[in-house]
Amino acid sequence: MERPLTEHIRKDLRPLTLKEYEQVGGYQSVRKALKDMAPKDIQSVVKDSNLRGRGGAGFLTGLKWSFVPMDSSIDTKYLIVNADEMEPGTFKDRLLLESAPHQLIEGMIVSAYGIQANISFVFLRWAYKEAANNIRFAIQEAYDAGYLGHNILGSGFNLEMHLHTGVGRYICGEETALLNSLEGKRATPRAKPPFPQVSGLFGKPTIVNNVETLSCIPHIVNKGADWFQKLSLTNDAGTKLFGVSGKVRTPGLWELPMGITMRELLEEHAGGMQDGLKFRGALPGGASTDFLVEQHLDVKMDYVSIAAAGSRLGTGTMIVLDDKTSVVGFVRNLMHFFAQESCGFCTPCREGIPWIEKILTSLEAGKGEGHDLNLLDFHTKYLGPGNTFCALAPGAMEPLQSALRYFRKDFEQYIAEELPHTTDPLPVKRNRLITDISKF
């Protein structure tokens, strides 16, 4: 089984120096691209590879690049690596940032050449201190070797690269909020259109891609689109970094073919559940994805199959729920995170998620009331897609809405006075509701 992203990562996780990286074939894609390929050829092979973004949305990378204007009169374009990995349960990019920084830099150089960007940034989560040190050192090595800067390898192509440490907000993972933060503004999402590919950082054409996505580029350029597609077990091409956290025997991270099943990931790689515990469900792609349950264990871990099952592949980092962990507490903990990380720009997100957290906290404290579940149902709809400025609140609703669907009895047991489920979010008398809401 080929594992191109991790095959040269050492067991002790120390990153390769530039010289060591070159000895295992590093920067060959840069030489190939600058010597033998035009920018349109880079875009073409990436599009043909069917590489989908590994940051969560799964948008086709080559298609995203194709929206960048290739007018030679444009003096500045930007390529930005979104390394602001901050969602609970997601830790895949950290491995690549800390242990394979030159692979990422190589991918950035080739990608920048493909869209003719001349300035690049690694936008890094503030807490990734070791990653920052390793990337900073690798960037300097690349400059010293002539892979960055002016007239790279005598090709006439110029690229400056900078490491930027973020201020520590989850919303910076949203690409337009990232751009605002990088410009020194408050990290709030932007209205689209215009899209960043046309008007992004400082109003210039900009591509923002995930760490894992750009780390795939050198291998695709070196070995071709067909090779990359054949790595997968399904139509979603390539390998993927899959992670598992929760009360399993061996939580961790593995590079595996796209399309393995949830069961294989959980039982063969994560070792199954810890002794005395049973599997109840899992968030297959991180904290902002819907629960899948036992009936879904044979679903393939790819974008299409997971979507058909009612969730999202997201980052591919599974969070497992066991039968001894409170579902209400599990979801409440996630809502606490999302409530803290709302940028506060739009009312549904700013006010709604803290309200949800308070309802769940009240349930856990034994103070739940009959209309609480109807209020939670109400929020999952009115904080859903199309009702907020960005995807933070809709993503936060995914674990809640699916928990209410699959584990509703767990929520009901906290309520002393149960009321029949209704589509009306306000099934009680208005004067009582006003009194009840006042405690929030």
**CATH 3.40.50.11540, the chain: domain bounds:** 18-230
**CATH 1.20.1440.230, the chain: domain bounds:** 327-438
Q: What is the pTM of this model?
A: 0.91
**CATH 3.10.20.600, the chain: domain bounds:** 239-322
Res 317: pLDDT: 95
Which of the four pLDDT bands, split at 50, 70 and 90, describes residue 369?
confident
Question: Are 276 and 325 contacting, i.e. CB atoms less than 8 angstroms apart?
Answer: no
In sequence order, the 6+-apart residues with CB closer than 8 A to the CB of 52 are: 58, 59, 60, 61, 236, 237, 303
Give the separation between CA 313 and CA 49, rounded to whole angstroms: 19
Strands (E), 42-111: 78-83
DSSP code, position 265: I
pLDDT digits (tens, 9 = 90+) for 45-97: 999 999 999 988 889 999 999 999 998 889 999 999 999 999 999 999 999 99
Class of the 327-438 domain? mainly alpha
In sequence order, the 6+-apart residues with CB closer than 8 A to the CB of 1 are: 256, 257
Question: Are 310 and 332 contacting, i.e. CB atoms less than 8 angstroms apart?
Answer: no
Q: What's the fold here for domain 239-322?
A: Ubiquitin-like (UB roll) (3.10.20)
In sequence order, the 6+-apart residues with CB closer than 8 A to the CB of 432 are: none
Give the chain's mean pLDDT: 92
Residue 208 forms beta bridges with which residues? 80
Question: Are 374 and 422 contacting, i.e. CB atoms less than 8 angstroms apart?
Answer: yes
Question: Are 45 and 224 contacting, i.e. CB atoms less than 8 angstroms apart?
Answer: yes
Res 416: pLDDT: 59
Q: Report the run of H or E that residue 317 belongs to, with start and end.
A: strand 317-322
Q: Give the residue-averaged pLDDT of 354-372.
A: 92
Q: What is the DSSP string of 66-128?
A: HTS---TT----EEEEEE---STT--HHHHHHHH-HHHHHHHHHHHHHHHT--EEEEEE-TT-
Give the separation between CA 173 and CA 86, rounded to whole angstroms: 8
Which of the four pLDDT bands, split at 50, 70 and 90, describes residue 168?
confident
Class of the 18-230 domain? alpha beta
